[in-house]
């Protein structure tokens, strides 16, 4: 099918971002932009060239478009979830993530009939669901499906995209919960085994700024050290739990005034010590 090439190109574009950074919000932002561009291109292609048959149109709106549109839904929701994720203890983060899983599950319950239709690979109602210009009166009125672009939408292709997106989100959230549970166990174990008598008495934000500065400088392992390894080492060395240091880094980067507040403080302190030593 001629529209399949968009899937391959789209996946390649997204993969190019995978190893650029560990910053989940940065990835989400850029992938939202790339997905929007792809959807616009796809829409123009469909409006200009259309389809050769009903089966091709059904296949497009049931399989092709949802694969791409689901990514837009996924990354928008992911950005919203991660940007508001609490910086507190693992316990509260796990509760927060579980609450979002529950909210996503509500969508499946509200669309149970269609969900089962799609999941079991049924085709009897495909002409109603995936041909443009059709309307399904069984849809809840709050879906506002009649406001969707009639030239590039059917009554259920967005529902398919949402199912795919929410499935991916639930997997992501479950993995994050597992990481938090594992890191909590590891941290508690390392705290018990730690022989370090040093304690970080500055703020967690300051330590995070220091870790990212060292990582960015290339002074450790010529810049090839993983940020997770560095964070774990500093947590163990200074008997502290940094929590979601990725989120902390985003906040540091978003400062409107001084983004290197702690680095400047260190520089001033060292210069003051030099001056005191010269006297």
Pair (157, 39) in one structural domain: yes
- Percent of the chain predicted with pLDDT > 70: 86
Looking at residue 146, its pLDDT comes to 38
Range of the domain at 271: 194-278
Residue that finishes a domain, picked among 140, 160, 186 = 186
Spatial separation of the C-alpha atoms in residues 176 and 167, rounded to whole Å: 14
Looking at the structure, do residues 22 and 138 belong to the same domain, yes or no?
yes
Do 217 and 120 belong together in one domain? no
The band of 8, judged by pLDDT with boundaries at 50, 70 and 90, is confident
Model confidence at 170, in pLDDT bands (50, 70, 90)? very high
What total of structural domains would you count in the chain? 2
- CA separation, residue 278 to residues 264, 271, 275 (Å): 21, 11, 5
Q: Are residues 84 and 54 in the same domain?
A: yes
Tell whether 138 and 226 lie within a shared domain.
Answer: no
Average pLDDT score over residue span 167-180: 92
Confidence band (pLDDT; 50, 70, 90) for 113? very high
Residues 23 and 161 in one domain: yes
Cβ neighbours, 10 Å, residue 252: 19
> What pLDDT shows up at residue 184?
59
Is the pLDDT at 144 greater than 80? The verdict is: no
Please report the pLDDT score of residue 243 as a whole number: 82
Q: Are residues 36 and 81 in the same domain?
A: yes
Mean pLDDT to the nearest integer, 259-265: 91
141 shares a domain with 58: yes
Tell me which of 186, 205, 223 is where a domain ends: 186
Do 121 and 40 belong together in one domain? yes
Whether 36 and 108 map to the same domain: the answer is yes
Determine the pLDDT at residue 182. 81
- Residue at which a domain ends, from 119, 154, 186: 186
Quickly count helices (H) and strands (E) in the chain.
12, 0
Judge if pTM exceeds 0.85: no
Strands (E) in 29-181, as ranges, are none
181 confidence band (pLDDT: 50, 70, 90): confident
CB contact at 8 A, 101 and 128: no
Q: Which tokens hold the place of 150?
A: 């009639």
| 162 and 58 belong to one structural domain | yes
Strands, E assignment, the chain: none
Domain shared by 139 and 159, yes or no? yes
Report yes or no: 248 and 231 within 8 Å, Cβ to Cβ.
Answer: no
């Amino acid at each position: 099918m001629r529209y399949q090439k968009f899937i391959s190109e789209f996946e390649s574009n997204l993969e190019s971002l995978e190893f650029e950074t560990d910053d989940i919000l940065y990835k989400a932002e850029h992938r939202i932009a790339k997905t929007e561009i792809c959807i616009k291109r796809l829409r123009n292609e469909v409006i200009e060239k259309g389809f050769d048959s009903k089966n091709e149109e059904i296949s497009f709106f049931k399989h092709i478009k949802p694969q791409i549109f689901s990514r837009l839904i996924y990354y928008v929701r992911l950005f919203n979830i991660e940007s508001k994720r609490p910086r507190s203890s693992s316990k509260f983060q796990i509760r927060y993530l579980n609450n979002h899983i529950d909210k996503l599950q509500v969508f499946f319950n509200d669309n149970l009939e269609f969900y089962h239709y799609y999941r079991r690979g049924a085709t009897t109602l495909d002409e109603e669901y995936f041909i443009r210009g059709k309307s399904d009166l069984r849809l809840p009125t709050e879906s506002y499906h009649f406001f969707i672009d009639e030239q590039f939408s059917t009554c259920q292709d967005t529902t398919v995209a949402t199912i795919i997106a929410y499935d991916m989100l639930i997997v992501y959230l479950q993995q994050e919960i597992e990481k938090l549970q594992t890191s909590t166990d590891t941290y508690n174990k390392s705290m018990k085994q730690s022989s370090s008598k040093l304690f970080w008495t500055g703020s967690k934000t300051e330590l995070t700024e220091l870790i990212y500065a060292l990582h960015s400088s290339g002074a450790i392992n010529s810049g090839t050290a993983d940020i997770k390894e560095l964070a774990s080492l500093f947590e163990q060395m200074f008997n502290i739990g940094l929590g979601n240091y990725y989120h902390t880094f985003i906040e540091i980067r978003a400062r409107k005034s001084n983004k290197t507040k702690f680095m400047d403080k260190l520089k001033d302190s060292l210069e003051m010590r030099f001056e005191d030593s010269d006297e």
